[in-house]
Structure 1
Amino acid sequence: MIRRVVSAAVLLGVAAALLVIAWPSLFGLSAAPVVAQLVSLRALSAALAIIGALTLALIAMLWRGARRFLASLALLALIFAAINVAVLSTRGFGNESFPTRAPAELSVLSWNTLGDAPGADRITQLALDEQADIIVLPETSQETGVEVAEGLRAAGRPMWVYSFAFDYIAKARSTTVLVSAAIGEYVVDDSVGNTTVLPSMVLRPDGHDGPTIIGVHPVAPLPSQLANWRADLDWINGICRGEQTILAGDLNATADHFRTIGGDSGGALRLGLGDCLDAGLLTGNGAVGTWPTRLPAILGAPIDHIMVTDDITVTGFRVITTEDGTGSDHRPIVARLIL
């Protein structure tokens, strides 16, 4: 009798824990300790749950005395995996195809370079390949940004360079943004605050009607940085407002975190922060992982984003997997937009 009660209690506890991880927004816990990290890796969690279920089923067949208990655990693991796969499928697993660029479109490229790791030449070539008009480079120094701009200018694509660093001890504490000279000059708006640990940047058009451009880099939700991470996302939720706004960068957050911070009144595919909507979700690419590159994109965390206000049309978005061996632990992302 005691054994059955203990087994039932364990199963109930496991079921509750798995439900919180699979559906944290139901309890408002997407930004809670442990859950914030685990929910970022839904696909990996689902894969591990399936492996766990198969392992438990095999053990159950060999261990008759614990067969019912182990089979119940295996069933819970399968249900957990199914919920995660269902959620990810609504966000879209994407593909490598991308529409040919139309003359009226802007190309926005974002890449956390892990402190200039790929090098200026590699970044320049990618920008040329993607015909980028706006390039957001978290963890990229001003020096590298200038080198990229020089390479692009030599190729006939001149760029303005804007960079901000909290210090010059670690390149991770720099964010650099390049904007095509064809769009116009910008000024950095330093009156709106900033993210807490890693720098972000708000660029306002200087004497022209181009879009506001926001390059962001919230800190990762490490246990010691959860308060700063939440504050960073709250700041983005407040700053990505108004009209004609493009936001890009390493947000260290997924759609689950957007649901908690920004709300979900627009529906699952129209999640974002502030007035900005996520281009990946809008185009059916919201489940493709951008970090870490050592995991296949299908298993990674989709934490790098390009967002726009709803007066900007997203015509395409993709996660670029061809740069996985170039040094950064993040994959670049690119979006095509019509203002």
Structure 2
Amino acid sequence: MSGEPTPPPRRPGTASGPSPAPPETVASGGMTTETISSTPPPAGRPRRRRWITVLIWIMLVPFAAWAVLRTTGWDAGFRWIQLAAFTPYVAAASVVALLLALSLRRWTAGVAGLVVMGAFAWAVLPRAFADPAPAPGGTALRVLASNLARGGADTKTIMDLVVRLKPDILTLQELTPEAAGRLEAAGIRKALPHMVGEPTPGVWGSGIYARFPLRADQAAIDYGNFRQSVAVAPEQNLQIVSVHPCAPRFDYKAACWAQGLRALPKAGAGPYRILAGDFNATLDHAIMRDLLATGYRDAADVTGRGLIPTWPQQGWEPVPGVTLDHVFADARLAIRSFGVHRVPGTDHKAVFAELEIPGTAR
């Protein structure tokens, strides 16, 4: 006999309630003891867990969709043109969804979040790291570009930048006849005596000033009445464009924005090319990456300053800053440095790049 007490037999006719939970047997010192658990697991817990999982996926899916659109370059329409400029902010926010999934041990969602964050990192982070600098040599070439905001930018600040930075080329956007007159009166032609351009009332004019002789290479690139001046410096074997396609503020402007960017000269054979100004686009727009792929490099990206916002300057627009102003340099040109400068009276910061033309240093 085992010595264990025999449970009393059940009386016939006794009402039976819910069956108790099966006993748990615990061994202790050669004897066994039965512990009866009478507390069932909470019925609502699995449901809450499902809802948490659903909410994590709801948070993650928009980031995944954004990463797919950015990576594939698919044209999702007018609103996507506007939204794509803010990709660096979305990339940073995607980390929150990933950390939430991992902290709550939703491993499938966590893996998806890692893939999404990796796609964003691949697209955005290289702009924050400088490329290896090429060996010195060649002819220095300094480029300054500024959007004057309907000619309203402070003339003294522009002239101070010209004196301090000593640009060889100055490209201006939204150059009005009045702004051109103020610059002439302030002595712009003493520093940069040569000019090609079309000062025009409103937002449509542009101009190119240079230390060396220029000639108009062709009529200004004109889509939506935005005149992007084009000039050639024969002695330097250089073609320059003051870039300013129309801003995609409204649905009907999306076409001329794309046309203005696609009409910019491609890099490659022929003269060295520089595109400088207000592109109204960032490197997160596929059309900009297509242009770079022809043989340009973005000076800010190359020098690790590609995430510095250039628009809007503080107080102009209630949106986070984005990088709309660029200096695209022919890949045959070395890029030495890049900087951004505040200019009162305009919503855009001026951009400055130091380049180098192959050849004998001066």
* TM bucket, shorter chain: 0.7 to 0.9
Higher helix proportion: 1
Tell me if structure 2 keeps the 8 A contact 1:290–1:303. yes
Give me the whole-angstrom Cα distance separating, in 2, the residues matched to 1:153 and 1:140: 14
Give me the whole-angstrom Cα distance separating, in 1, the residues matched to 2:59 and 2:137: 51
Tell me if structure 2 keeps the 8 A contact 1:240–1:247. no
Match of 1:332 in 2: 350
Q: % of aligned pairs identical?
A: 22
Matched, 1:41 2:86: yes
Match of 2:247 in 1: 220
Deviation at 1:235, TM superposition (A): 1.2
Deviation at 1:210, TM superposition (A): 4.0
Give me the whole-angstrom Cα distance separating, in 2, the residues matched to 1:85 and 1:223: 30
Correspondence list, 1:195-274, <5 A: 195-205=223-233, 208-224=235-251, 225-236=253-264, 238=266, 242-257=270-285, 259-260=286-287, 262-263=289-290, 272=292, 274=294
Deviation at 1:6, TM superposition (A): 8.6
SS at match of 2:86: helix
Correspondence list, 1:1-339, <5 A: 12=57, 14-29=59-74, 32-46=77-91, 84=120, 87-92=123-128, 104-152=139-187, 156-165=190-199, 168=201, 170=202, 172-180=203-211, 183-190=212-219, 193-205=221-233, 208-224=235-251, 225-236=253-264, 238=266, 242-257=270-285, 259-260=286-287, 262-263=289-290, 272=292, 274-294=294-314, 300-320=321-341, 323=342, 326-339=344-357
Deviation at 1:243, TM superposition (A): 2.7
User: Which whole-Å deviations, capped at 9, do the CAs of 1:143-194 have from their partners, x for residues lacking one?
Assistant: 323432443458x5242233225x53x2x111122111xx21322511x743
Deviation at 1:107, TM superposition (A): 1.1
Distance 1:236 1:185, change over 3 A: closer
Distance 1:146 1:237, change over 3 A: same
SS at match of 2:254: helix
TM-score by length of 2: 0.68
TM-score by length of 1: 0.72
Tell me if structure 2 keeps the 8 A contact 1:116–1:141. yes
Deviation at 1:2, TM superposition (A): 10
Aligned residue pairs, count: 300
Tell me if structure 1 keeps the 8 A contact 2:59–2:97. no
SS at match of 1:204: strand
Deviation at 1:91, TM superposition (A): 0.9
Tell me if structure 2 keeps the 8 A contact 1:149–1:161. no
Code of the residue aligned with 1:200 in structure 2: it is Q
Name the Cα RMSD after superposition.
3.9
Give me the whole-angstrom Cα distance separating, in 2, the residues matched to 1:292 and 1:79: 32
User: Which whole-Å deviations, capped at 9, do the CAs of 1:93-113 have from their partners, x for residues lacking one?
Assistant: 78xxxxxx9994121001112
User: Which whole-Å deviations, capped at 9, do the CAs of 1:5-37 have from their partners, x for residues lacking one?
Assistant: 898777656534312323424333266433322
Tell me if structure 1 keeps the 8 A contact 2:221–2:227. no
